[in-house]
Structure 1
Amino acid sequence: MPELNKNVPSRERRRFPGISSRAYEHPADRSALVSLRKLTGFDKVFKAISGMLPERSLRLLFLSDSVRVSDQQFQHLHDMLRDACYILDLDKVPQMYVKQDPQPNAMCIGMDEPIIVVTTGLVELLDEEEMRAVVGHEVGHALSGHSVYRTIMLFLTNLALALAWIPLGALAIRAIIAALLEWFRKSELSADRAGLLVGQDLEASMRGLMKLAGGNHLHEMNVDAFLQQAEEYDRGGDVRDSVLKILNVLPRSHPFTTIRAAELKKWSESRDYQRIMDGHYPRRDEDKDASARESFRESASSYADTVKNSKDPLLRLVNDIAGGTADIGGKLRDRFNNRGSGGSAPADGSGPADPSPN
């Protein structure tokens, strides 16, 4: 394999030597991955499961019925792939295949070695810079290890489905699948960020997402109006709409495209993104020291911020109830503290306690 450092991107872009995937992973995605990486004996489980999966068959299928990207076939995709691996400092360039399918799609799969697959529908839909963001997205999946953990989790889920006849088994399985899909959706947000780090062109990333939603009709679309849809979706109508949104998203492995666009734009304006672009980011050789507890704390904080800042009616209600409960708890605590110190609280629970008579 040629030296990666000889593969300089076609235009000047920042490179991130030794970057850890933790730099761009969504907090919920990162906490799950850090925990899995720290599980004792996980490597043994991984090897046992990998022998039960039809990965070799899958590789042979793509080799026999798709087009392998190289310097002789789909060379522009080959160059993009090498660029992406160069920028994210991925040691080994994954194999990429183009599969005949009018549906625009891309995926990163595999246990031993990741394989990237893109459909002809996607190749025909996107321009060069939009496609570069997609390739970076898939390389981000590979760097994070999503292809490995997704394959394992999907296998375990399918195995559990076979046992759904056990009493309450179906209900438990649905809960597992719902949690798994929530992780998948967050991992897609992580990979979108990786795509932006590779392409370093927010407009191209936005255009690509808009095309996935509305096809090759950019002259009929507007980025600001597209992002406004995400805000309107978040704001919703009433609690009934909130429930419908939850039901709509539960079976999906990907977030809705307007939401992905809004989340990516928000991250591109964050201090975290700017620090990465300035060269300040966690390194891969520090992954073994990453704290699972800290990752869970960041994940919980991320979900709390989502609830706090959301304009969704149901989430606003949850936030108001939580805030009201905290206020009541604070007043009760103050009341008991005042009594414990010899004071008595006013009947309405507010204001300073009157001094006790001597």
Structure 2
Amino acid sequence: MTQPNDSSNVPSRARKRFPGISTRAWEHPADRSALVALRKLSGFDDILKKLGGFVSERAVRLMFLASAVRASERQFPELHEMVRDAAYILDLEKVPPLYVTQDPKPNAMCIGMDSPVIVVTTSLVELLDEEEMRAVIGHEVAHAMSGHAVYRTMLIILTNLAQRIAFIPLGGLAIMGLITALNEWFRKAELSCDRAGLLVGQDVQASMRGLMKLAGGHHLHEMNTDAFLEQAEEYDKAGDLRDGVIKLLQILPQSHPFAAVRVAKIKQWAEGDEYRSIMAGAYPRREDDANASVREQAKAAADSYAQSFKETKDPLMGLIRDIAGGTADLSGKLRDVFAGRTTGGGANGDGANGDSANGDGNGSGHE
């Protein structure tokens, strides 16, 4: 296992660039579906800006100018070059400014709707090596490109609204339902940007190491990505129904997926056809964004959830899946009976009609 800042972490090959790449290339299906729908709403951004007038981008910029360090050729030049490199790889013309702020908690964020800025904390800079940080910066540049600040603003507005109307019967519940849905969207957006971080860094081990460090700190020599992936698998299938309920309650209020889950998801995507196609130059182009179908993206999102639901080993989800499958099977059998169709091996006297013919069914005494 390599130590932090070990030069062996730096890839010896040049990274590929993706001219004209659309954000749809890396967006999770659920994230992409929502964003495509929002982009079809003319003037939606303007409405949000009016509703969220209390969030002043000018004030944010002035605050960071006064209290943080802006990366440039003379200050944090390596970080400055990483942002430029990420923008170049993802073909973003306007490079977002990056600020470093003193904070003991490792974190990175993209703030702003018109002119996004990227902020990283000193703790994060000290925690990650160069290639791990490259993936993080790619992640934040992707937030800027996808326009995720739009729904972050929605979440702020709804959270404040929920506090104001909590006294209205059922009003607070309705708003909390929307907040829960937005948090789910936010979690999928984080998975989207993890993918973009991989496209920028093009080093899946670095992407996984960085996420693992967010969970376990800078003691990389004490950690192992394979063991951490085993944790993710154990988390997915662990325990009984009680654990399934607890996991559901734990994740609902979270705006980010848990670190072990993110590591498993980025590894899965890196090993899939989608990533290989992008690396080979076959990816959606932004020139076609206006023609993206809301219906097709919604179907892709539904298919993604259905596939995850099918593959999960979570005991609660397994029970729901079995109940749903059993209900569908039962309804199918009832439909066949009322339609007068045989089921199973009816021709051999084993089905509904066969049993009745032999006097074994409930319908033996009826026409």
Q: Give TM-score, length-normalised by structure 2.
A: 0.88
How do 1:235-254 and structure 2 match up within 5 A?
235-254=237-256
CA distance in 2, matches of 1:33, 1:161: 27
How do 1:116-265 and structure 2 match up within 5 A?
116-265=118-267
Q: Deviations over 1:257-297 (max 9, x none)?
A: 00000000001111111111111111111111111111111
CA distance in 1, matches of 2:52, 2:159: 15
Equivalent residue for 1:297, pick from 299, 322, 325: 299
Pairwise CA distance, 1:51: 4.0
CA distance in 2, matches of 1:265, 1:271: 12
Residue in 2 aligned with 1:75?
77
CA distance in 2, matches of 1:352, 1:273: 54
Bigger mean CA offset, 319-328 vs 17-26: 319-328
CA distance in 2, matches of 1:103, 1:339: 65
Pairwise CA distance, 1:37: 0.8
Q: Deviations over 1:95-132 (max 9, x none)?
A: 11000001000000102111100000000000000000
Change (3 A) 1:118 1:338: same
Change (3 A) 1:353 1:292: farther
Alignment length (residue pairs): 344
Tell me if structure 2 keeps the 8 A contact 1:109–1:148: no
CA distance in 2, matches of 1:237, 1:351: 43
Pairwise CA distance, 1:223: 1.0
Matched, 1:349 2:352: yes
CA distance in 1, matches of 2:117, 2:191: 20
Equivalent position SS for 1:97 = strand
Pairwise CA distance, 1:85: 0.2
Equivalent position SS for 2:103 = coil
Pairwise CA distance, 1:322: 1.3
Residue in 1 aligned with 2:99?
97
CA distance in 2, matches of 1:78, 1:10: 21
CA distance in 2, matches of 1:131, 1:197: 13
Equivalent position SS for 1:13 = coil
Change (3 A) 1:147 1:339: closer
CA distance in 1, matches of 2:46, 2:228: 46
Pairwise CA distance, 1:176: 1.5
Structure 2: unaligned runs, 5 residues or longer: 1-10, 358-367
Pairwise CA distance, 1:352: 10
Tell me if structure 1 keeps the 8 A contact 2:52–2:157: no
What letter corresponds to residue 292 of structure 1 in structure 2? V
Pairwise CA distance, 1:329: 2.1
CA distance in 2, matches of 1:211, 1:339: 60
Change (3 A) 1:159 1:348: same
CA distance in 2, matches of 1:299, 1:351: 43
CA distance in 2, matches of 1:290, 1:303: 20
Tell me if structure 2 keeps the 8 A contact 1:189–1:260: yes
Percent identity over the alignment is 65
Structure 1: unaligned runs, 5 residues or longer: 1-8
Pairwise CA distance, 1:52: 4.1
What letter corresponds to residue 180 of structure 1 in structure 2? L
- For the aligned residue pairs, the C-alpha RMSD in angstroms reads 2.3
Tell me if structure 1 keeps the 8 A contact 2:155–2:179: no
Residue in 1 aligned with 2:39?
37
Equivalent position SS for 2:109 = strand
Change (3 A) 1:209 1:44: closer
